[in-house]
Chain A
């Protein structure tokens, strides 16, 4: 524990002087004025020990200057923690007091106090030695604490930020482990005795107004004890303390109070104002200002002390001043303007009375268009007056005035401001006029433009513009036109004669000078060549050739928005000696072409075009590619054209075009060069240097090849975008020829087919009749001509039937119809027997199956032998129709489908040779084949049954239904 941490509570004298001489005499000399009746009391709240004692044997009237040496020990007497010599003058039996504040809470440890005395008086030098020590006085507060198990000290202490504080706890039980926390954080302490521990807090900081919570608790229990340490911010000295008066009745004192030191346990600091000359004092109600009533007896000097005070500290500041030097005048009032004319106005104002002894200096500021244009200083007693001159007509001004003490400047008053407007005058300048002339149906349509006069030129509000049109050929012909403001253009329709136009601007006061312009019928624009100029960010630098003769000036004309129909016509007047200028405008945009026309104005005020210029303020790369039309596509070339592409409306001067051609071959022909595009694709580039050439033939192409092309313009700053390529495939080289042949062929075939369809009946009869006509058969003619010219066609009417062959089939027997037993035909001989002999005479045998569809499908239908036992069926076959019907019925079925026992009839011509179905019964010498002609049917043959004809005859098919041996040739 450091001794320096302890200090006395009141009347602190820390001059520790121990005289060696005194020490020497201390033990040997008797005690004349020793301290007696030493009593010690404590103040727990302030952790103070109060000592009270008297001096032994001091006479009632006696007065001595004495020194008391006080020793304080802690815990035990030998542990001295404080020694102090307290000097004071002692009177008679006076009780003496001394206090000491302990850094450690007094409850935390026993304290022992003793003292001794010595005379420190010049009148009694012989008494300069220490008395005996008094006996130790013990201070033990722990005994009076009560029986609670745990205590924490000091209770709710109030300290300043940065202080060092010692905390301790006293426990009634040694068994318990006790933990102490500062704002929830465990503290490490120092044990004083088994029941007491102390914690030193250094440089404590302000945390909150409700204080810093420190608490201890028993580890195994719910007992908790705590204290709140209130840490106050350090009270600051008031800053910027000053006082002033505005009306000589009240002094208003202000200061910056600094930070607030208020806590839950401590009110915020208070402020007291003390004036030493008058001895008056006032407690200020506010933190930062205070009012003081000026003494009626005209006190001029004031000496103020401002004291800030809280529980722990007191701070003061002083000011001394003369009241007249601290005058802060009130703002002037009743500011008026009178006699306001075109260029002058008189300003008057009043100031608050400050007595007759003071003169005020007033400052007047005149504002025009937001800027100070005039400043004046005026001395004022009561009323101020100032003439403001040099003003502009019809202009709004603002004037403000403030005042201060002229003799002892302290502070300006607040400004008082008032506005006024000067009266109008006639416009001073002629309007700037220009025209645009168009010829429409033999008339001149003249559009007159003028710029509004500036405020300084207009001298008031322009109400209308007067336009006088004077016919120069007929001086008497005047035309008057009045255009109300704020119009800045009008249109006149004039004939082809020359006219002089006067334009004037008018306000409520008068008319401006006239602006004169001559308009002639012939604009004369066509002969002038257009020249290109290069613009910059600052504008276009134009120059032209000086004109011989009398020129009154030049005019440069252009459009700010050339792409708009109204175009926003602009012009610039230039003097007669000027041959160059820079045209700049905020409206100029990059990539827009601006056209400039330079006119000369003759002395007769006739404008005539001198030069034309065109250019861009900044050229941009072309933004659009032309719309390309492809034509004349052949196998080796195609033609590209972009006639409708306007080079005038591009964002830069177009210098030509690039034609890119992509092909799979990747080879470039002469006239083109290889180019690598941004997507790393390689193509051929053709360059067209003439921007007027808007057609290009791409040649040297391969037939049936795929190509892609792109046409893009280029200028000085780059070329157009590499957008989508157009795809094209060259056609085959022969396809046009093929088309020329194939198409007519198809047409012819179609024609034939249509004809065939229309004449189908005729065709059928001619080519494939249902019943072939033997007379028409070509076979016949062929046979006739080559083999037997005597052959003829037999007429059916000439034939008499002689035999009917009855065929009776027995399918159920399972035997082949070709077997002799089952297929034995029965012949009914209708003619005499002798005639049945088929001799070697001429005979034609028919086997006509045309009427028997089924017969052709199955051999059984045609040549199944008729059973011999079936003559009973003869009666049914009374006519050929019945026979046919029966045959048809039977032969419609397939061979397997014919029921057992069902008979089939086969018609055999009467002229046919009697052929037996039995193979064995066939005659060994058959009739001569040349004598018989076998007529076969013409019909569709099932593939399974018919073999293709080997003869390849185009008209007849010979169908073999039986074995070869069964046929006669």
Chain B
């Protein structure tokens, strides 16, 4: 797992600028119709920015957990993290995903991950770590909104959360502290994998949206789905 510590505050201005311009994203502004291309590009940019931000956050958090979680080659079995949405997928399956499914999976995954991340924030013992986590949660919320904007621009409905299936990250009484740390580790790792995957997802979408002919194809495909 390649998680590096670093300073994320310098990129705060960049995030704010992205969020500030979100209302102006054409995908969210249906009156003008430049297509979803610009909003996909912005979502892609936001994904890359979050990837950078997570590297710094994960470094700090894993040091906070202590060894072996902060060791570079630590790769434990994914025991207690079964409820986390998996980012890894077979390449053929990933290629065969249509746009709607691709975006829906992203949206659902980040909805869950954001919820888990907020739980992580509540447990954090130091104020500095809580600040960093809260900042990242805000950024992730922005990504979620951006994905929602792209879906809306393409005419896809947002997935509705099933009642009573609100993901929780509160450890049960039998959940040991070591397992809890493993879960935290896996949450950060899965989040990073999802950001990598999202960058590829949005890059693929972006390429599809670029030529005008592709837009027609997408339109037909959307109707077909």
A224 proximity list for chain B (CB < 8 A): 76-77
CA distance A211 to B126 in the complex (A): 14
- Is B125's CB under 8 angstroms from A265's CB? no
A559 CB, nearest partner CB in chain B, Å: 62
CA distance A230 to B75 in the complex (A): 24
- Is A183's CB under 8 angstroms from B66's CB? yes
A226 proximity list for chain B (CB < 8 A): 178
- Is A228's CB under 8 angstroms from B125's CB? no
A265 proximity list for chain B (CB < 8 A): 177
- Is B66's CB under 8 angstroms from A213's CB? yes
- Is B125's CB under 8 angstroms from A210's CB? yes
B31 proximity list for chain A (CB < 8 A): none
- Is A213's CB under 8 angstroms from B181's CB? yes
- Is A262's CB under 8 angstroms from B68's CB? no
The size of the chain B interface, using a CB distance under 8 A, is 17
- Is B67's CB under 8 angstroms from A184's CB? yes
CA distance A248 to B50 in the complex (A): 57
Contact of A222 among B64, B68, B77, B125 (CB under 8 A): B77
- Is A155's CB under 8 angstroms from B176's CB? yes
| Cβ-Cβ contact count across A and B, 8 Å cutoff | 55
CA distance A224 to B179 in the complex (A): 10
A207 within 8 A of partner (CB):
yes
With contacts A213-B68, A213-B181, A228-B181 taken as known, whether A222 is within 8 angstroms of B76 at the C-beta atoms is yes
B214 proximity list for chain A (CB < 8 A): none
Interface SS of chain A: helix, strand, loop or mixed? loop
B192 CB, nearest partner CB in chain A, Å: 20
A156 proximity list for chain B (CB < 8 A): 176-178
B14 CB, nearest partner CB in chain A, Å: 31
CA distance A156 to B77 in the complex (A): 20
B175 CB, nearest partner CB in chain A, Å: 10
Contact of B66 among A155, A210, A222, A225 (CB under 8 A): A210
B190 CB, nearest partner CB in chain A, Å: 17
A227 CB, nearest partner CB in chain B, Å: 5
B202 within 8 A of partner (CB):
no
Contact of B125 among A212, A215, A264 (CB under 8 A): A264
- Is A210's CB under 8 angstroms from B178's CB? no
- Is B77's CB under 8 angstroms from A223's CB? yes
A149 CB, nearest partner CB in chain B, Å: 12
CA distance A211 to B181 in the complex (A): 11
B76 proximity list for chain A (CB < 8 A): 222, 224
A227 proximity list for chain B (CB < 8 A): 176-178
Question: Looking across the interface, which residue of chain A has its beta carbon closest to that of B125?
Answer: A209
Contact of A228 among B71, B77, B126, B176 (CB under 8 A): B176
Contact of B64 among A210, A215, A230 (CB under 8 A): A210
- Is A264's CB under 8 angstroms from B68's CB? no
Proximity string of chain A (250-280) to chain B, C-beta cutoff 8 Å, 1 when within and 0 when not: 0000000000001111000000000000000
A184 proximity list for chain B (CB < 8 A): 67-68, 71
B44 CB, nearest partner CB in chain A, Å: 35
Give the contact-size bracket for chain A. 20 to 34
CA distance A228 to B177 in the complex (A): 6
A967 proximity list for chain B (CB < 8 A): none
B64 proximity list for chain A (CB < 8 A): 208, 210
B194 within 8 A of partner (CB):
no
B133 CB, nearest partner CB in chain A, Å: 14
A181 within 8 A of partner (CB):
yes
Pick from A181, A212, A223, A224 the residue with the most CB of B within 10 Å: A224
A208 proximity list for chain B (CB < 8 A): 64, 66
Proximity string of chain A (189-230) to chain B, C-beta cutoff 8 Å, 1 when within and 0 when not: 000000000000000000111111101000000111111101
CA distance A950 to B211 in the complex (A): 116
A210 proximity list for chain B (CB < 8 A): 64-66, 125, 181
Question: Looking across the interface, which residue of chain A has its beta carbon closest to that of B126?
Answer: A209
CA distance A230 to B126 in the complex (A): 16
CA distance A262 to B124 in the complex (A): 13
B218 CB, nearest partner CB in chain A, Å: 42
- Is B68's CB under 8 angstroms from A211's CB? no
With contacts A184-B68, A222-B76 taken as known, whether A213 is within 8 angstroms of B125 at the C-beta atoms is no
Q: Identify which of residues 57-75 in chain B touch chain A, using a CB-to-CB cut-off of 8 Å.
A: 64-69, 71, 75
Question: Looking across the interface, which residue of chain B has its beta carbon closest to that of A209?
Answer: B125
Proximity string of chain A (407-445) to chain B, C-beta cutoff 8 Å, 1 when within and 0 when not: 000000000000000000000000000000000000000
- Is A262's CB under 8 angstroms from B125's CB? yes
CA distance A207 to B66 in the complex (A): 9
B78 CB, nearest partner CB in chain A, Å: 10
Question: Looking across the interface, which residue of chain A has its beta carbon closest to that of B123?
Answer: A264
CA distance A225 to B177 in the complex (A): 11
B66 proximity list for chain A (CB < 8 A): 183, 207-208, 210-213
CA distance A223 to B176 in the complex (A): 16
A906 CB, nearest partner CB in chain B, Å: 114
A211 proximity list for chain B (CB < 8 A): 66, 177
- Is A183's CB under 8 angstroms from B177's CB? no
- Is B67's CB under 8 angstroms from A213's CB? yes
A212 proximity list for chain B (CB < 8 A): 66
A226 CB, nearest partner CB in chain B, Å: 4
Proximity string of chain B (18-30) to chain A, C-beta cutoff 8 Å, 1 when within and 0 when not: 0000000000000
- Is B178's CB under 8 angstroms from A228's CB? yes
B75 proximity list for chain A (CB < 8 A): 222
Question: Looking across the interface, which residue of chain A has its beta carbon closest to that of B78?
Answer: A222
A830 CB, nearest partner CB in chain B, Å: 125
CA distance A263 to B66 in the complex (A): 14
Q: Identify which of residues 71-112 in chain B touch chain A, using a CB-to-CB cut-off of 8 Å.
A: 71, 75-77
A208 CB, nearest partner CB in chain B, Å: 6
CA distance A228 to B64 in the complex (A): 13
B68 proximity list for chain A (CB < 8 A): 181, 184, 213, 215
Question: Looking across the interface, which residue of chain B has its beta carbon closest to that of A183?
Answer: B67
CA distance A913 to B65 in the complex (A): 147
Q: Identify which of residues 165-205 in chain B touch chain A, using a CB-to-CB cut-off of 8 Å.
A: 176-178, 181
Contact of A213 among B69, B123, B126 (CB under 8 A): B69
CA distance A208 to B61 in the complex (A): 13
CA distance A230 to B177 in the complex (A): 10
A540 CB, nearest partner CB in chain B, Å: 65
CA distance A262 to B65 in the complex (A): 16
CA distance A222 to B66 in the complex (A): 20
CA distance A228 to B123 in the complex (A): 16
B169 CB, nearest partner CB in chain A, Å: 15
B182 CB, nearest partner CB in chain A, Å: 8
B77 proximity list for chain A (CB < 8 A): 222-224
CA distance A467 to B78 in the complex (A): 102
B132 CB, nearest partner CB in chain A, Å: 15
Question: Looking across the interface, which residue of chain A has its beta carbon closest to that of B67?
Answer: A184
CA distance A262 to B71 in the complex (A): 26
A263 proximity list for chain B (CB < 8 A): 125
B126 proximity list for chain A (CB < 8 A): 209
A287 CB, nearest partner CB in chain B, Å: 15
B134 CB, nearest partner CB in chain A, Å: 18
A300 CB, nearest partner CB in chain B, Å: 43
CA distance A156 to B71 in the complex (A): 21
CA distance A381 to B126 in the complex (A): 51
Question: Looking across the interface, which residue of chain B has its beta carbon closest to that of A214?
Answer: B178
With contacts A209-B125, A222-B76, A224-B77 taken as known, whether A264 is within 8 angstroms of B67 at the C-beta atoms is no
B180 CB, nearest partner CB in chain A, Å: 8
CA distance A156 to B177 in the complex (A): 6
Pick from A210, A211, A215, A265 the residue with the most CB of B within 10 Å: A210
Pick from B64, B76, B177 the residue with the most CB of A within 10 Å: B177
A215 proximity list for chain B (CB < 8 A): 68, 178
Residues of B at under 8 Å CB distance from A? 64-69, 71, 75-77, 123, 125-126, 176-178, 181
7 A-B pairs with C-beta separation under 8 A: A181-B68, A207-B66, A208-B66, A228-B176, A228-B178, A263-B125, A264-B125
Q: Which 4 A-B pairs have the closest CB atoms?
A: A184-B67, A228-B177, A226-B178, A156-B177
- Apart from A213-B178, A227-B176, A228-B178, list 11 A-B contacts with CB within 8 A: A209-B125, A210-B64, A210-B125, A211-B66, A213-B65, A213-B67, A213-B68, A222-B76, A223-B77, A224-B77, A265-B177
